[in-house]
């Protein structure tokens, strides 16, 4: 049984993956973002804790220290601004670290792409029917399952962490205030590190799930592959129209030159050189027109239309193309080679059947198709 053209059974191509990423369809993991944010927060508590405690002590001392001048000239706004100026730096460090960490984790997870279009409002995001479809569809059930597993794992981690610290936590408040604050700060940061480790495990489990879901979402049908190939290569009709247009442009520019030409030298289809010789005009053969690619093809077609002889001499065609401009006489070093071809053409016009001449192009004037000198000529 043949496969249906609409059945999506082919792996997504690189182009489809790139197009999807450009539209914002990249790998995402909220669990990874949460884990990174919690790790940064725990690290901040661990290493910036003394700084924050000192700031809080300064705020408390300032808040509970009064004198007569403060009572006579009570300014709560200035007091609040002073407290904010002291507390704000460590809070900004925490907020900035969390923001940069979360953004960096998602950019790395999503192939380093930031798609501003995802920030634009979309009706589907606030459509109740779309929301219900997401909640009760396959995607919703997967998310519910992930949420239950996440809550269970984090609950187990929190319970294991709490079991060994119940006595110390219950005894808080009985000892030295500074010591109790240090212990509470360390305890809180250790809990955050434990929960962050659990979220990292969840993110590692979530990665293959997200990858498989995106892979299945971007799978292609046979028709998709055909359409992509057609888009990459261009439809035959479009390519034919482009070629025809180029030929028309080329023919418009060389038609008059081809009417005047006595013969055309080709390579065999990449290059075309239209040449004529009239002693009353120039002492040597003149290049009326030259071209490569579409222009060369147009010149060959016009030569057939005007009954101009077309001769294939690859080395000579390249040599003339790269050494002579249009409406210019050929190089002196090429006189002998072109003279042999001209004599052959004139014999044909007289009705004779001469042997096709062999031409010799000087080594110093031999070029490849890109205009580079022949390696022998360089030596």
Query: 228-258, pLDDT tens digit by residue?
Result: 777 766 666 666 776 676 667 666 678 888 9
Same domain, residue pair 150 and 265: no
What angle is formed at CA 212 by the lines to CA 206 and CA 217, rounded to 5 degrees? 125
**What would the pLDDT profile of 296-323 be if each residue is shown by its tens digit?**
888 898 899 899 999 999 999 999 999 9
In a domain, 144, yes or no: yes
Same domain, residue pair 99 and 179: yes
Same domain, residue pair 207 and 296: no
Same domain, residue pair 184 and 317: no
In a domain, 134, yes or no: yes
In a domain, 17, yes or no: no
Q: How far apart are CA 223 and CA 158, in angstroms?
A: 52
Q: How far apart are CA 96 and CA 109, in angstroms?
A: 20
Same domain, residue pair 213 and 260: no
CATH number, domain at 332?
3.40.1690.10
CA 121 to mean position of chain CA atoms: 25
Choosing from 217, 244, 265, the residue where a domain stops is 217
Q: How far apart are CA 303 and CA 301, in angstroms?
A: 5
The answer to whether 304 and 310 are in contact (CB under 8 A) is: yes
Same domain, residue pair 263 and 152: no
- Please report the DSSP string for 261-282 in residue order: -SEEEESSSSEEEEEE--TTT-
Q: How far apart are CA 10 and CA 248, in angstroms?
A: 42
Same domain, residue pair 362 and 296: yes
In a domain, 245, yes or no: no
The answer to whether 355 and 311 are in contact (CB under 8 A) is: no
Using the CB atoms, write b or e for 227-247: b if 16+ within 10 Å.
ebeeeeeeeeeeeeeeeeeeb
The total of structural domains in the chain comes to 2
Same domain, residue pair 212 and 319: no
Query: End-to-end alpha-carbon separation of the chain, Å?
Result: 63
Same domain, residue pair 37 and 159: yes
Q: How far apart are CA 40 and CA 145, in angstroms?
A: 27
The two tokens of residue 375 are: 């390696």
Q: How far apart are CA 114 and CA 241, in angstroms?
A: 38
DSSP 373: B
Choosing from 217, 242, 268, the residue where a domain stops is 217
In a domain, 7, yes or no: no
Same domain, residue pair 185 and 280: no
334 vs 94, 241, 357, CA distance in Å? 79, 38, 14
Same domain, residue pair 274 and 197: no
Same domain, residue pair 264 and 213: no
CA 183 to mean position of chain CA atoms: 50
In a domain, 8, yes or no: no
In the beta sheet, which residues pair with residue 10? 220
In a domain, 348, yes or no: yes
In a domain, 231, yes or no: no
Tens place of pLDDT per residue across the chain (379 aa): 445 556 777 888 888 877 777 776 777 777 777 777 878 877 777 777 667 767 766 666 666 666 666 556 666 666 666 666 666 776 677 677 767 766 666 666 555 455 555 555 555 555 566 555 655 666 667 777 777 888 888 888 888 878 777 766 666 666 565 666 667 777 777 787 888 888 888 878 877 878 888 888 888 888 888 777 777 666 666 667 766 766 676 666 788 889 899 999 998 778 999 999 998 888 999 999 999 888 888 889 889 989 999 999 999 999 999 999 999 999 999 999 999 999 999 999 998 988 999 999 998 899 988 888 876 544 3
In the beta sheet, which residues pair with residue 329? 286
Q: Structural domain of residue 306, as residue ranges?
A: 253-378
The two tokens of residue 359 are: 């031409």
């Amino acid at each position: 049984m043949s496969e249906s053209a609409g059945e999506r059974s082919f792996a997504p191509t690189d182009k489809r993956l790139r197009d999807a990423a450009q539209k914002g369809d990249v790998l995402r993991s909220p669990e990874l973002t949460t884990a990174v944010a919690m790790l940064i927060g725990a690290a901040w508590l661990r290493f910036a804790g003394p700084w924050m405690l000192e700031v809080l002590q300064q705020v408390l001392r300032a808040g509970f220290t009064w004198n007569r001048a403060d009572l006579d000239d009570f300014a709560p706004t200035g007091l609040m601004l002073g407290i904010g100026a002291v507390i704000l730096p460590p809070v900004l460090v925490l907020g900035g670290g969390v923001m940069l960490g979360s953004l960096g984790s998602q950019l790395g997870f999503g192939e380093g792409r930031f798609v501003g279009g995802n920030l634009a409002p979309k009706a589907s995001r606030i459509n109740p029917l779309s929301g219900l479809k997401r909640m009760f569809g396959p995607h919703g059930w997967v998310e519910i399952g992930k949420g239950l597993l996440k809550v269970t794992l984090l609950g187990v981690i929190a319970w294991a962490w709490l079991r060994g610290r119940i006595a110390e936590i219950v005894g808080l408040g009985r000892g030295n205030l500074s010591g109790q604050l240090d212990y509470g700060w360390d305890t809180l940061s250790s809990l955050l590190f434990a929960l962050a480790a659990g979220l990292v495990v969840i993110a590692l489990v979530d990665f293959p799930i997200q990858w498989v879901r995106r892979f299945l979402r971007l799978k292609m049908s046979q028709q998709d592959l055909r359409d992509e190939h057609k888009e990459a290569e261009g439809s035959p009709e479009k390519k034919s129209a482009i070629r025809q247009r180029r030929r028309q442009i080329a023919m418009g520019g060389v038609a008059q030159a081809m009417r005047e030409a006595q013969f055309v030298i080709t390579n065999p289809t990449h290059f075309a050189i239209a040449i004529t010789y009239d002693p009353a005009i120039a002492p040597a053969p003149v290049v009326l027109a030259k071209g490569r690619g579409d222009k060369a093809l147009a010149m060959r077609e016009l030569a057939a239309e005007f009954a101009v002889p077309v001769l294939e001499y690859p080395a000579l065609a390249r040599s003339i193309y790269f050494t002579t401009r249009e409406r210019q006489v050929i190089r002196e070093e090429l006189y002998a080679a072109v003279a042999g071809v001209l004599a052959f053409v004139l014999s044909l016009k007289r009705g004779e059947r001469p042997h096709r001449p062999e031409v010799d192009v000087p080594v110093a004037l031999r070029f490849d198709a890109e205009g580079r000198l022949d390696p022998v000529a360089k030596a």
